[in-house]
Amino acid sequence: MILAADRSALVAQAEATIVRGSQSFAMASRLFDRVTRERAWLLYAWCRTCDDVVDGQVLGHNMAVPADPLDRFETAFRQTMDALDGRPVDDPAFQGLALVVDETAMPRRFVSDHLAGFEADARGWRPQNADDLFRYCYQVAGVVGCMMAVVMGVSPHDDDTLDRACDLGIAFQLSNIARDIVEDADNGRCYIPEDWLAEAGLNEAELRIPSTAPQRATFAARLVAIADRHEASARVGAARLPFRCRWAILSAAGIYGGIGREVVRRGHRAWDERVRISGSKKAMLAMQALIASSLPSPRDMVRDGLWSRPR
């Protein structure tokens, strides 16, 4: 049992992690009620820590592919399982995850599915086609959407709302992939499906070459168009959340959707510098989300044609 003082310390450490690791998520999380906000921070801290362990980075920055990625993944996997099973762990991020799972009755399969995404990166996995890409996006981000939905009070048995939460995570990840095509290639990663590359007459190493910027722009536009469809589905699900949660999620959707759309707007110049959303633009998107949160719920959109998470 975690004492109140210990919980407060875990929350404080998790808050410090999200503030340093993601200003966008930190800003959106401020819109939650206190309990939801603290649980979101704890969940983020675990996700961020696992990612850093496997990728050899610090708070998502300065990625340098380590020589022992599978060993690093095993470390993260073991600490996660130890924490969930009530065994002592040193890293507070893993203790925080166990606390969230216990407080929300979160299905452990969500944790396992997220860990599978870290393992894929540790093994140097590559998507062969769009279905492979969607499965990976589910593991690294869509399932985080499901976990966040549970944190916000969605029943683990409400499959349609969880599907739409998953859609938002997938949309976020597709936008990230579009923005980071060159950065990923520089670090020996590629998330553009092999059959897409073949259609363009490229191999993944050529994504680093400046002359392939027009083809990268085509890939990015394709990714963001798919992300937009998933985001539209997610907005239907967000309308079912309590007001403050709805506001936070729509703010995050606007910010991350804005990243992808800015990549498309810049075209072949999108990788001259990292695409970012300014603080003033984030504030404007948060205000737009506030207005959207106060309007009647959007008409239900059938998810036909969207990739569906495993049950």
**pLDDT tier at 152 (50, 70, 90 boundaries)?**
very high
pLDDT at 26: 80
DSSP state of 272: S
The answer to whether residues 8 and 92 belong to one domain is yes
In this structure, what token pair is assigned to residue 223?
A: 């990714």
Helix extents (H) in the chain: 4-21, 23-29, 34-55, 69-84, 92-104, 108-122, 130-137, 143-151, 159-179, 181-186, 194-200, 213-238, 243-266, 279-294
**pLDDT tier at 57 (50, 70, 90 boundaries)?**
low
Residue that is last in its domain, among 91, 124, 157 = 124
pLDDT at 235: 93
Q: Which residues pair with 58 in a beta bridge?
A: 61
Residue-wise pLDDT tens digits, 41-55: 999 999 999 998 887
Percent of the chain with pLDDT over 70: 95
Mean pLDDT for all residues in the chain:
92
The answer to whether residues 306 and 166 belong to one domain is yes
The answer to whether residues 189 and 132 belong to one domain is yes
pLDDT at 63: 60
Q: Tell me what the mean pLDDT of segment 274-288 comes to.
A: 92
The answer to whether residues 204 and 307 belong to one domain is yes
Global pTM exceeds 0.85: yes
Three-class SS state of 58? strand
Domain span including residue 118 = 1-124
